[in-house]
Structure formats: structure tokens, C-alpha cells
Structure 1
Amino acid sequence: MMEGHDGVGEAACVGTHDGVHAFVVVAADTKASDILEADLKGLVRREVGAAAVPQSVRFLSALPRDKSGAVARRILRKVAAGDLMNLGDPAQLADPAVLDELLKAPASA
């Protein structure tokens, strides 16, 4: 749904006990900003409803993917929940460096 926005290259949302969390890769000609974040939250509010608005948005250069190309949602759920233990073997990811970025990327509130 967020991928319909011109500023978004790809996105993944996961649910945790405290709500929805979004992980967004911005389009090549777009810069991550508070304005983009507000735009995305407004888009979700209008198109899906208030209950689906993300609690946080993290902008990344790439989403974590396993070697077969699937988004590693288990890792995204654990990071969103603040559970940084037992994220799994980074060697199982197509690009292990994405995990480092994911752990450093600040989450909005």
C-alpha cells in the first residue's frame, strides 16, 4: 500500500503487541524526511484506516532478504518489538550488511 507513494521504492509492515511498524526504502530520487513519514502515515490513514497507521517508520537503504529473495519479516518483527536477541545467522541473509543498518536506523515515534 505504501509502495503506491511516489517516494517509496519498497516497504514492509509488521505487527507487534504495540501496533504496526513500517520499514521503508525510499525511491532513488527521494530523501527520507519527517514530511515523507507524515505523508505515508496520512496515506495509510486515508486508504486503510486509523488502526493501520504505523507506530514507527524506519527508513532503510534495503529491506533484509533471505537468499531466496523473500523479505525476512521475522527479523523485522523482532526489531520492531525491541527484541534484538537471537535475530538469527546474518549469513542466511542475501546482504548481511542490511542487518547492521537495520539495528542502527532510528525508529520514529
Structure 2
Amino acid sequence: MLESHDAVADAAAVGAPDGVHAFVVAAPDARVTDILEADLKGLVRREIGAAAVPKSVRFVSALPRVKSGAVARRILRKVAAGDLSNLGDPSQLADPGVLDDLLKTPASA
């Protein structure tokens, strides 16, 4: 749903104990700003409803994907919950370097 925004190249949302968290890859020509974050939250509020609005939005360079191409949502859920222990074997990811970037990217409030 977030991918429908012109400034978003790829996105995934996951649930965590404290709410929904979004991980967003900005389009190459997009500027990552607080305004973009607010716009994305507003889009979710209008299209799905207030309960689905992400508590945080993390702008990342790429989403972690397994070798088959599916988003590694288990990793995203653990990162969203702040549980960085036992993220699994990075060699199972299509690009293990994405994990390093994901862990360095702070969540918005």
C-alpha cells in the first residue's frame, strides 16, 4: 500500500508489540524528510484507517530479502520490536549487507 506513493520504491509493514512499523525504500529521486514520513502516515490513515498508521517509519536502502525474493519479515519484526538477538543466518539473505544497513537506520518516533 505504501508503494502507491510516488516517493516510495519498496516498502514493508510489520506488527510489533507496540504497533505497526514501516520500512521504506525511497524512490531514487525522492527526498527523505519529516514531511514525506507524515505524508506516508496520512496515506495509510486515509486508505486503511487510524489503527494501521505506522508508529515508526524507517527509511532504508533496501529491504532484507531471502534468496527467493520474499521479504524477510521475521527479521523486520524483530528489528521493529528492538530484539536484535538471533536475527538468523545472514547468508540466507539475497544480500547480507542489507542487514547491516537496517540495523544502523534509526526509527522515527
Distance 1:3 1:82 in 2: 25
TM-score for both structures, normalised by structure 2: 0.98
Q: CA deviation at 1:32?
A: 1.3
TM-score for both structures, normalised by structure 1: 0.98
The runs of 4+ residues in structure 1 deviating greater than 6 Å are: none
Distance 2:31 2:75 in 1: 25
1:78 maps onto 2:78 in alignment: yes
Q: Secondary structure at the match of 1:98?
A: helix
Q: CA deviation at 1:33?
A: 1.2
Other-structure match for 2:41? 41
Where structure 1 has 5 or more consecutive residues not aligned to the other structure, the ranges are none
1:8 maps onto 2:15 in alignment: no
Q: CA deviation at 1:28?
A: 1.1
Letter in 2 for 1:41: K
1:56 maps onto 2:56 in alignment: yes
Distance 1:16 1:66 in 2: 21
Q: Secondary structure at the match of 2:76?
A: helix
Letter in 1 for 2:14: V
